[in-house]
Chain A
Amino acid sequence: MNNKEEEFKKIIELPEALKKLGGDPFAVNVEELLQKINANKLKDRVKSLKYESQALNSVSIVVEKQEEWVLDALKGLKIDPQLIKEKVKQMPFKDLGLILAKHTTPTLGIKRISRERIKMAVEYLGLVEPWGKKASLGSVTRHENEYTQNIVFDKRFEEEAMEFYEKSLKEELQKSKTVPYKGFIDKFDEKLKVAFYIAYLSTVGLLSVIRNPLTGETLITSPRGGEFESVAIPFG
């Protein structure tokens, strides 16, 4: 028996093997099998046709088993629910989200702001400073808690933050448009202090901290305003 015949034999015996081992029929790549059947032509045409038809029959049995497997799983959840729960736990957030989104047709609705709310917003906007033009925060002189004790020494916080920006961040932001927040902070020993600097620098409009909604990654970018305004980041 040559290699091609052996390949055919393996395919023909697949349904029996699946039955004996009780394996997952989705472990079989049907498309690959069909390609193999098409490629494996024997010299003896009659023999070739016989093997081909037997192999195709086996593939159809596998496909049928796949369908049965899904139906069984869906109807009675005959597969171990614990297995599904574990699978879900291990799935990346993005994949879980994509699967759910694929089966979601959302309700539509346009949010409307009432006249009263618009009036309130106009009044409020009249009171706040334009974005990025926030007045100096002033120096912090008191050591209020254990965090600030480690951050504020004898030098003005603002000066330190500006110095940090010039030395460590400005060039990096000019080189690449975005800097991953976590990766950047992790480069420093005094992570909390650096986080404070970044928060301060975003309030004075030297940079923005945004979150990519798809990946959940937090990024430091050149200053942006409007809908791209900085987000608050939990630290720890």
Chain B
Amino acid sequence: MKAWRYHLAEEELQKKALKALRLLLIETSSLPGLKGWELKKNLGKDYLEAIKVASLEADKLGMKITIVPDDEAPKDFEKARFVLMTKEPLSEADYGRWLRIEEIASLAMILVEISLRGGSVPLEVIIRILTEKLPRWRVNQIISKLERLGYIKEENGIVFEDWRSKVEIDETGFIKDIILYRQDK
């Protein structure tokens, strides 16, 4: 009887895990993934258990589930964002489908600037740097897009990395490759 109940619970958890994957994959807002409370609402109290099983299923498909803590309540899982990510970095053929080339390059320039300035940079500096390469109207478009997608955030004229840059980009590896870059390669 006990074993049968255990089996049923396991089966239930597996179903919930697959449901969690579906929920995480389909975007319901402008941002990917779901907040912990949304998962709890859909999966029940044991949503964290279901996420653990879902992570194993995602791994088989070359994906992983990442938990992005909320800035104001870093220990609260219900306020954290749960996102589904690829395990491998983007290939050259894929990145055209991610952002446009000038948007990726702008993001790269912004991240280098933020990194070299210890985590934040005045917006006017970002605009000055980008307008050396792109027209002002395009720079404004790119900054808004990167902000909307969660790559950067601006508070009182200061630009910071947002959750998406922190989660998606290996900053150390990126800066290292920038330092080692040689044009004649």
A residues contacting B by CB (< 8 A) are 26, 70, 73-74, 77, 79, 81, 84-85, 87-112, 213-216, 234
| Pair B108/A108 contact, Cβ less than 8 Å | no
Check: B156 CB closer than 8 A to any chain A CB: no
With A97-B104, A100-B107 in contact, do A109 and B89 touch (Cβ < 8 Å)? no
B residues contacting A by CB (< 8 A) are 24-28, 32-33, 63, 66, 83-92, 94-98, 100-102, 104-105, 107-109, 111-113, 116, 129, 132-133, 135, 137-138, 164, 167-183
Chain A residues contacting B171 (CB-CB under 8 Å) are: 103
Chain B residues contacting A215 (CB-CB under 8 Å) are: 101
| Pair A106/B85 contact, Cβ less than 8 Å | yes
Give B129's nearest chain A residue, CB to CB.
A89
* Cβ 8 A contact of B132, one of A89, A107, A234: A89
A2 to B156, CA, bound (A): 69
With A88-B108, A102-B177, A103-B177 in contact, do A112 and B27 touch (Cβ < 8 Å)? yes
A182 to B: closest C-beta gap in Å:
15
A-B contact pairs, 28 of them (CB 8 A): A73-B179, A84-B112, A87-B181, A88-B112, A93-B102, A93-B104, A93-B105, A93-B133, A97-B101, A97-B105, A99-B174, A100-B111, A100-B174, A102-B89, A103-B169, A104-B90, A104-B168, A105-B87, A106-B86, A107-B66, A108-B24, A108-B83, A108-B84, A108-B86, A109-B25, A109-B33, A110-B25, A110-B27
Chain A residues contacting B181 (CB-CB under 8 Å) are: 87, 91, 95, 99
Give A111's nearest chain B residue, CB to CB.
B27
| Pair A105/B26 contact, Cβ less than 8 Å | no
Chain A residues contacting B164 (CB-CB under 8 Å) are: 107
| Pair A85/B33 contact, Cβ less than 8 Å | no
A-B contact count (CB 8 A): 151
Sorted nearest first, the 10 A-B pairs with minimum C-beta distance are A109-B32, A213-B96, A97-B104, A93-B105, A101-B95, A109-B27, A103-B174, A103-B170, A101-B90, A96-B105
A38 to B: closest C-beta gap in Å:
24
With A96-B104, A99-B178 in contact, do A106 and B168 touch (Cβ < 8 Å)? yes
Chain A residues contacting B182 (CB-CB under 8 Å) are: 26
Chain A residues contacting B173 (CB-CB under 8 Å) are: 102-103
Give B32's nearest chain A residue, CB to CB.
A109
Give A211's nearest chain B residue, CB to CB.
B100
A206 to B90, CA, bound (A): 36
| Pair A101/B92 contact, Cβ less than 8 Å | yes
| Pair B108/A99 contact, Cβ less than 8 Å | yes
Chain B residues contacting A88 (CB-CB under 8 Å) are: 108-109, 112, 178
With A99-B108, A103-B89, A107-B33 in contact, do A213 and B84 touch (Cβ < 8 Å)? no
Chain A residues contacting B116 (CB-CB under 8 Å) are: 77, 81, 84-85
List 5 additional A-B contacts (Cβ < 8 Å) besides A101-B91, A213-B101.
A26-B182, A73-B179, A89-B133, A104-B169, A112-B28
Chain B residues contacting A73 (CB-CB under 8 Å) are: 176, 179
With A100-B111, A112-B27, A214-B96 in contact, do A79 and B179 touch (Cβ < 8 Å)? yes
| Pair B169/A100 contact, Cβ less than 8 Å | yes
Chain B residues contacting A102 (CB-CB under 8 Å) are: 89-90, 173-174, 177
| Pair B175/A105 contact, Cβ less than 8 Å | no
| Pair B87/A96 contact, Cβ less than 8 Å | no
| Pair B113/A105 contact, Cβ less than 8 Å | no
Chain A residues contacting B133 (CB-CB under 8 Å) are: 89, 93
| Pair A101/B176 contact, Cβ less than 8 Å | no
A143 to B69, CA, bound (A): 59
